[in-house]
């Protein structure tokens, strides 16, 4: 085809693109990912017995804030990485700071605690399943995010996949708080963090070949 013909074809009827289209897509994805995770919690894992009471406590909201901020860092990084010339530095730095702060506080508390309590603080009653559940709850959101990204213009596939995983993982971990009754910072700092980062690594591995266009 001649280039002029192609241009005629492309310019024949350009659909208007609203400002902020990228942010809107990712916001929609966040809502969809949260709904998917919520359905899975309700239908499969069930909410924690003391949910109503827990929601009046501080720890429930600290957990949600931490994982929510990790998801927000992923969102912010994606908003940059979806563009061909986007630089995600600030977003990644923000995510690393949130993570370092929460994990640092958690381990500080843990080290200050009595020897006898340390094991139960770290392992809780659900350390074996925490990583797996968060990863599973994040899968629909991760898949949808990768599909949407394929229609955008990421030029760093592995890093973009990682950000997609952190985004979906952060959302899923926040919803997982409705099921999980663990209430120490060191547990959340360890196992929730691993769940979110694990989803990020999975996203990077898939993204490396799926995010080419």
Length of the chain: 213
Residues 19-38 that bind other proteins (CB under 8 A): 19, 21-22, 25
**DSSP code string of 45-109:** I---TTHHHHTTSHHHHHHHHHHHHHHHHHHHHHHHHTSTT---HHHHHHHHHHHHHHHHHHHHH
Q: Is 213 in the site for other proteins (CB under 8 A)?
A: yes
Q: Is 82 in the site for other proteins (CB under 8 A)?
A: yes
Q: Is 83 in the site for other proteins (CB under 8 A)?
A: yes
Among 62-70, 112-120, 146-154, 177-185, which window interacts with other proteins (CB under 8 A)? Answer: 146-154
Q: Is 116 in the site for other proteins (CB under 8 A)?
A: no
Q: How far apart (Å, rounded) are the C-alpha atoms in residues 64 and 170?
A: 9
What is the nearest approach in angstroms of other proteins to the Cβ of residue 91? 14
| Among residues 35, 153, 158, 197, the one that binds other proteins under rule CB under 8 A | 153
| Among residues 152, 168, 173, 196, the one that binds other proteins under rule CB under 8 A | 152
What is the nearest approach in angstroms of other proteins to the Cβ of residue 150? 10
Site residues for other proteins per CB under 8 A:
1, 3-4, 6-8, 10-17, 19, 21-22, 25, 82-85, 151-153, 155, 212-213
């Amino acid at each position: 085809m001649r280039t002029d013909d192609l241009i005629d074809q492309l310019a024949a009827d350009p659909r208007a693109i609203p400002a902020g289209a990228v942010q809107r897509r990712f916001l929609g994805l966040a809502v969809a990912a949260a709904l998917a995770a919520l359905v899975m919690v309700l239908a499969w894992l069930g909410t924690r017995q003391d949910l109503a009471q827990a929601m009046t406590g501080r720890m429930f909201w600290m957990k949600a804030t931490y994982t929510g901020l990790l998801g927000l860092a992923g969102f912010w990084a994606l908003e940059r990485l979806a563009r061909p010339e986007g630089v995600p530095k600030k977003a990644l730095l923000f995510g690393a700071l949130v993570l370092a702060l929460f994990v640092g506080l958690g381990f500080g508390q843990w080290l200050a605690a009595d020897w006898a309590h340390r094991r139960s603080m770290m392992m809780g009653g659900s350390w074996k399943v925490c990583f797996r559940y968060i990863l599973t709850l994040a899968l629909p959101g991760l898949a949808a995010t990768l599909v949407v990204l394929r229609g955008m213009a990421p030029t760093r596939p592995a890093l973009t996949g990682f950000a997609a995983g952190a985004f979906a993982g952060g959302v899923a971990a926040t919803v997982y708080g409705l099921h999980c009754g663990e209430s120490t910072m060191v547990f959340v700092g360890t196992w929730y963090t691993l769940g979110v980062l694990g989803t990020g690594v999975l996203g990077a591995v898939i993204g490396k070949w799926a995010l080419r266009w």
